[in-house]
Structure 1
Amino acid sequence: MSLRGRIKCIKDDLDGRSSDVQESNIRLNNYHGVVSTLAANLVGPFMGIFAVRLGASNVQIGLLSSAPAFVSLLAMIPGAKFIDSRRDKKRYTAAFMLAHRIFYLLLAMIPFFTPDRRAALLVLTLAVMNLPGAISNVAWQGFIARVVPPHRRATAFAERNRLMNVIGTLCILVAGRALDIMTYPLGYQIIFAVAFAFGALEIWVFRRLVVAPDGAAEHNAADIPVGRFAATLLRSVRDDLREFRGKWSFLRFTLVSLFFHFAWQVAWPLFTLYQTKELGANNLWISILHLSNTGGSLLGYGFWAKYMERNGSLKTLFASTLGIFIVPVVYAFSRDLLTITFFNVITGIIFSGVMLALFNSLLDMTPEERKTTYIGYYNTAITASAIFAPMAGVAMLELWGYRPAFLIAATLRIMGSLAFGLIYLLEKRPEKCNTDNAS
């Protein structure tokens, strides 16, 4: 397609004039991914260095992950059930997205406070902003499962992730260099304000998505009044837990994902501390590390999408997670940023499969009816690990130092991958039994 044709296609998609709703939705989902990653990558990758510049302690660095995770833990189940009780899920999802993006402006105001309060205010702001952020994330996952049909998910989300990685990394490179050039804290304040502008554009693009005819049944039901929803919430949760007793596939997948995410997240604050305090990484180096990781992802997404189409999401999840132990091992024995940059290409190839397979496996393992609610319970479970894992990582660092902590994290990651392999075998066995019975 020519450049003029692509521009016309984008314009038709955004104006709602495309004749093929399904393909237009997939392209709109790509556009949404691009602007959302522009907003997120102007904030997230630099938050660790921003915290250090604000004078954050090691414990506060750990709280950058744990505090938002705790808020998510409280918000996702009520939020998911609330979204499922609404007719116009898209409108409420967009509203929670906007509430989350507004906090980017609040981040820009933190340097105006006295130095002794800035780090604590950063932790508090990141925690509170995750209330609408967690709900909007769960709502988007449930909504997009209705927009993109199962047979298109592998290639559609691989393409979306590929675009997000390319644009996001270019964004990080430009922002990282800009932050190093501009004076502190003005540079961060400008970057956060630009992030809010992209966040507003992201919501506008999201609103262009159209629920396909076979997913529009949700508009037939009436909204549950907010007061009645709140009054019956606890009873509804108890009913859900009883219902889950018969959902063994969902329960197994959730429990294994809980362990896997703990193993994955335990080293996250250690990476930030090691890069900045031991190896002296500045904003430009953080950008370079992201660039090398993205280069690997671009190589990996095409391979993993084809692998998933042939083998399914669970087998892809097992195969891709086998190599994630490499990351903490490299950090355990690396003494310079160049070595980490080189291995980031390899880990980018690996993690492209992990991210693609995790999301597709989640959509496959949750029932179509009340999908947002199931996703809310799943995300609540794995978010529990994000509360304790970073603090556990910091504790291991304080007790034993960097190398033992990284090696323990690598061992846990191997165990998590093997657990996914067991899930794959358990899920495959009923299929084999059904095949034998049919023959």
Structure 2
Amino acid sequence: MRMRNRRELAAQFIRELKLRIYPDISLDTGTRLATQIRVEGLLAAVVLNLATAFTAMFATRLGADSSQIGLLASLPQWAGLAVLIPGTLLAGRFHFSRRPVELSILASGLLYGLAALAPYMGGLRIWYLVAMVSLANAPMSLYNTTWQNYFSDVVQPHQRNSLYTMRTSMTFAAGILVVQITGLLLGQAISDEARIRLYQLCYLLAFIFSILQWLMLRQSPNIQTEDNGYGLRELGLALKAIVKNKPFLSFIVISLIFHIGWFMSWPLFFLLQVDYMQANESWLSYVIVTGSLLQWLTVGRWSRFIERRGIRLALVIGAIGLTINPALAVLSSYFPIGWRMPAMLAFNLVNASTFSAFQLSILQNLLEVLPTRFKQLNLSLYTALLLLANAAMQWFGVKLYVMLGDTHAAMTIALLVSTGLRLAGTLLFAWRWYRLRHEPDVGRRI
């Protein structure tokens, strides 16, 4: 009986694994497109994790201080913001929506590869790293918006939850493997010089995998765009249309408030773990990997939840998990020194258990209210606001921490401010769900 139960559990695990990698789909777009979207997402996640997961620690090994770490977090967002609208206007000139996605992948991959040269730049090595990472984020921001536009072109609304779940599952899996392997190798390195060589290898591999990502994307359908190109006139018309479109405008405002609180704490989490918890590369990878593993294990369940209860309620639940995360991180920093990182890892799982709900629903909520006219331009305007908030609030988070005294108490206050801002956004998401609870929901199937 016990052996049979074990076999049944093993068979159930294998079935769940197959559902995450080869889901049973009966979609008009077919299994080929599903596979292409899935694998392209995996390769994109490999590139992103190789190039960004340990960037702050790389800069620290090169001698960066807290202010430079803050710039490393904020300047890439400013670079992305600077090119987003002009880049979108240029992308609107392409007759096929896949082409600007391809160019963005190649440009960001090349710049990440050039970042590997930072240790050879002498006294300018940190500023060179900041410059390359910032420049790479410019085409990366274009990739995000142009890919969302392409995804909405090739996948119908009723199919998006299933396909996006598959892609998200693969990105989580890639994050688990890449961060775990990289973190273990960095943790086992015998010297800082060896670690720096490994960081350089990560950037070179990011470039190689970006080429593979580009090759995979080229196998996907090439859809002709409905727009005939964008100019300043279309930009003005799009802005006027957004102001008049209450569903889209309200979503933008609520999402912006929530993201302001979320972005503010990004560099603070790194400083908290390194300065007050004595974290190294191995511990940072443990926190990331365990969280990613739980996100991967729960993505299927949250996808089914969306089919039953809709994307708006799922967004509220995901936002709740993100809201309590800074407060729990602060709490873990007051444990005895040997227990701080284990506590951080455990508390991070609370957020990880609901993060897939946020990840799956935030884009679908956006696409649900996105005006079809000037679609790519509307996506870019929304993303531009988030990039502006990202750049400003990451800088503000570090600035507030330093102004308050650069102490443990100052870190506590700064992260609690982040919690309060996230809470405001979450309450507004909940209000939006309650107000629209009787309206049709594109995610609901049951």
Could you say which TM-score interval applies, normalised by the shorter chain? 0.7 to 0.9
Offset from partner CA, 1:179-211 (integer Å, 9 cap, x none): 334413211111211111111101111111115
Q: Distance in 2 between matches of 1:431 and 1:133?
A: 33
Q: Distance in 2 between matches of 1:299 and 1:103?
A: 33
User: Against the structure 1 CA distance between its residues 204 and 345, is the aligned structure 2 distance closer, same or farther, given a 3 Å change threshold?
Assistant: same
Q: Distance in 1 between matches of 2:354 and 2:325?
A: 10
SS in 2 for 1:36: helix
Q: Which amino acid aligns with 2:143?
A: S
Contact 1:35–1:198 (CA under 8 A) maintained in structure 2:
yes
1:284: how far off?
Answer: 1.3
In structure 2, the residue matched to 1:395 is 399
Offset from partner CA, 1:321-363 (integer Å, 9 cap, x none): 1232221111111131001111222211111111111111111
Offset from partner CA, 1:19-40 (integer Å, 9 cap, x none): 9743321221001111111111
In structure 2, the residue matched to 1:97 is 105
What does 1:391-430 align with in structure 2 at a 5 Å threshold? 391-400=395-404, 401-428=410-437
SS in 1 for 2:321: coil
In structure 1, the residue matched to 2:180 is 173
Contact 1:304–1:352 (CA under 8 A) maintained in structure 2:
yes
Contact 1:71–1:130 (CA under 8 A) maintained in structure 2:
yes
In structure 2, the residue matched to 1:111 is 119
In structure 1, the residue matched to 2:379 is 375
Q: Distance in 1 between matches of 2:372 and 2:355?
A: 27
In structure 1, the residue matched to 2:52 is 44
Q: Distance in 2 between matches of 1:21 and 1:154?
A: 13
1:243: how far off?
Answer: 2.0
In structure 2, the residue matched to 1:75 is 83
Question: Is 1:122 the counterpart of 2:129 in the alignment?
Answer: yes
Q: Distance in 1 between matches of 2:271 and 2:417?
A: 17
1:431: how far off?
Answer: 6.6
SS in 2 for 1:325: helix
1:429: how far off?
Answer: 6.8
Q: Distance in 2 between matches of 1:164 and 1:354?
A: 15
Offset from partner CA, 1:220-266 (integer Å, 9 cap, x none): x7x75xxxx6xxx3333222222222211111111111111111111
Q: Distance in 2 between matches of 1:283 and 1:275?
A: 11
Match among 236, 241, 256 for residue 254 of structure 2: 256
Question: Is 1:140 the counterpart of 2:147 in the alignment?
Answer: yes
Q: Which amino acid aligns with 2:71?
A: L
In structure 1, the residue matched to 2:169 is 162
In structure 1, the residue matched to 2:210 is 199
Q: Distance in 2 between matches of 1:318 and 1:46?
A: 30
Contact 1:249–1:427 (CA under 8 A) maintained in structure 2:
no
Q: Which amino acid aligns with 1:283?
A: E
Q: Which amino acid aligns with 1:29?
A: I
Q: Distance in 2 between matches of 1:235 and 1:91?
A: 23
Contact 1:294–1:345 (CA under 8 A) maintained in structure 2:
no
Q: Scaled by the length of structure 2, what TM-score is found?
A: 0.85
Structure 2, unaligned stretches of length 5 or more?
Answer: 1-13, 334-339, 405-409, 442-446
Mean CA deviation greater in 93-102 or 293-302 = 293-302
Contact 2:95–2:224 (CA under 8 A) maintained in structure 1:
no
Offset from partner CA, 1:16-63 (integer Å, 9 cap, x none): xxx974332122100111111111111211001011112222122111
In structure 2, the residue matched to 1:292 is 290
Q: Distance in 1 between matches of 2:325 and 2:28?
A: 42
Question: Is 1:334 the counterpart of 2:336 in the alignment?
Answer: no
In structure 2, the residue matched to 1:266 is 264
Q: Distance in 1 between matches of 2:253 and 2:80?
A: 18
In structure 1, the residue matched to 2:61 is 53
Contact 1:22–1:148 (CA under 8 A) maintained in structure 2:
no
Contact 2:327–2:415 (CA under 8 A) maintained in structure 1:
yes
1:286: how far off?
Answer: 1.4
1:402: how far off?
Answer: 1.4
Q: Distance in 1 between matches of 2:186 and 2:112?
A: 16
In structure 2, the residue matched to 1:276 is 274
SS in 1 for 2:359: helix
Q: Distance in 1 between matches of 2:242 and 2:154?
A: 25
Offset from partner CA, 1:418-437 (integer Å, 9 cap, x none): 111222344457779xxxxx
In structure 2, the residue matched to 1:15 is none
SS in 2 for 1:42: helix
Question: Is 1:209 the counterpart of 2:226 in the alignment?
Answer: no
Question: Is 1:26 the counterpart of 2:34 in the alignment?
Answer: yes
Q: Distance in 2 between matches of 1:332 and 1:95?
A: 41
Q: Which amino acid aligns with 1:130?
A: N
Structure 1, unaligned stretches of length 5 or more?
Answer: 11-18, 433-439
User: Against the structure 1 CA distance between its residues 290 and 331, is the aligned structure 2 distance closer, same or farther, given a 3 Å change threshold?
Assistant: same
Q: Distance in 2 between matches of 1:305 and 1:21?
A: 19
Q: Distance in 1 between matches of 2:131 and 2:76?
A: 8
